[in-house]
Amino acid sequence: MIFYRFYQGSVVDMRSFVSERAKETPISGIRVIFEKAQRVSDVIRLEVGEPDFDTPEHIRAAAVRALNKGETHYTSSAGVLELREEISRKFRVDNSLEYDAKTQIVVSAGAVNSLNLALMTIIDPGDEVLVPDPGWANYEVLIGLAQGVPVRYPLRERNSFKSDPEELRGKISPKAKAIIVCTPSNPTGSVLDIRHLQEIASIAEEYDLMVISDEVYEKIIYGNAVHQSIGALPGMANRVVTVNAFSKTYAMTGWRLGYAGGPSEVISQMIKLNTGLNTCASSISQIAGIEALRGPQDSVRQMREEYLRRRDFLLERLRQIPGFTCVVPEGAFYAFPNIQKFGLSSFDFAMALLDRAKVSTVPGSAFGPLGEGYVRFSYANSMERIGKAMDRIQEAIRSGLKVNKA
């Protein structure tokens, strides 16, 4: 890191220009591995958190048409109304959520932008926000930027990484203002069923908490698991902001298109903040988003079927390697096996896999203290690459990453 700059004969200490906020914001544990993996030749990237598929052709074509028609201007900070109407319809049909397109929906630059706006709207400095542990690391970054305080609630392997109401209650202080719920989960792939959602809803009512429900993986779900939106439970409409995006469902991560629905009092403030922070989501992406929601959904099903095949293949390969045990993920495209038998920290284990097997994974500790003892494998990669990665891991473990028998 360069801290001193020489400018017209004087030396400037750049540290004085960098805020405490920026310095205190942690570097993502995924980033650390990502950067190291960049320097390893022939590495197989199983740390990546995005679909490996291209955006479906009809959505790309809609974007090209939008470009050629000159849809290249600022849009409303709430988003193009036609898109909000489609999102409103989608919320009603898929999630049993009633959000008025004109007053209860904001379109954002990806889900992360909606989460940012929601936290900035709901949180005052010092307010506590309950976050899942293990959970997506960015929640804590965004809470910190809103000057809130993250408080982790445990998701334990013995509960299939689902919330325990008593443990959750034990984390709530008078300063608690909101809770983030993520289902299907990154990094565990767990899907909260109706019982868990009802428990969280009644805790939110009891302690007067707002709920921010991150549902970006809702369409990537397997077997008997069913995605349900906590905002659709009785009495919850006024205390839930539902966040979603096109990123994972339609393989559109680079398009930066997400959205949120919620009570109009909260959404109107989010729209106001969006004006200052981003102006609007990309106009071209928004037009493509209309096509994504309106057009054929076969590609969503096909991608899900392919993820399922890969999940089963990866789990089977993990089962064949002594030392790994893995809760069967019901959604998203991650497996989160327990690696405690190897006797290494999750960071050392992930680094050893990178050095010895040339496979990049994410140490569970990147997702919170309770992620220690696990690593995250993404199966958003081809069967061939997953197979090759598992061959290499099997070989590396056979010849050195010892299983701790103790």
Beta carbon nearer to ligand PLP, 127 or 218: 218
Determine, following the binding rule CB under 6 A, whether residue 182 of this chain makes contact with ligand PLP: yes
* DSSP H/E element including 95: helix 81-95
Determine, following the binding rule CB under 6 A, whether residue 101 of this chain makes contact with ligand PLP: no
DSSP-assigned letters across all residues of 331-395: BTTEE--B-GGG-S-HHHHHHHIIIII-EE-EEGGGG-GGGTTBEEEE--S-HHHHHHHHHHHHH
Beta carbon nearer to ligand PLP, 253 or 340: 253
Which positions ≥6 away from 188 have C-beta within 8 Å? 134, 155, 161, 327, 329, 334, 336
Stretch that binds ligand PLP, among 35-43, 105-113, 265-273, 295-303 (CB under 6 A): 105-113
Among 91, 99, 136, 349, binds ligand PLP (CB under 6 A): 136
Is the four-CA dihedral 63, 64, 65, 71 of positive or negative sign?
positive
Beta carbon nearer to ligand PLP, 186 or 283: 186
Among 163, 186, 242, 360, binds ligand PLP (CB under 6 A): 186
| CA atoms within 13 A of residue 96's CA, in its CB half-sphere | 9
Beta carbon nearer to ligand PLP, 45 or 317: 45
Stretch that binds ligand PLP, among 15-23, 108-116, 144-152, 295-303 (CB under 6 A): 108-116
Tokens 């443990």 map to which residue?
Answer: 167
Please tell me what DSSP assigns to residue 84: H
Among 66, 80, 101, 112, binds ligand PLP (CB under 6 A): 112
Q: 365 with 346: CB under 8 angstroms? A: yes
Determine, following the binding rule CB under 6 A, whether residue 214 of this chain makes contact with ligand PLP: yes
Determine, following the binding rule CB under 6 A, whether residue 289 of this chain makes contact with ligand PLP: no
Q: 137 with 28: CB under 8 angstroms? A: yes
Stretch that binds ligand PLP, among 58-66, 107-115, 309-317, 349-357 (CB under 6 A): 107-115
Query: Roughly how many angstroms between the first and final C-alpha of the chain, as a whole number?
Result: 42
Determine, following the binding rule CB under 6 A, whether residue 253 of this chain makes contact with ligand PLP: yes
| Binding footprint of ligand PLP on the chain (CB under 6 A) | 49, 110-112, 136, 182, 186, 214, 216, 245, 247, 253, 258
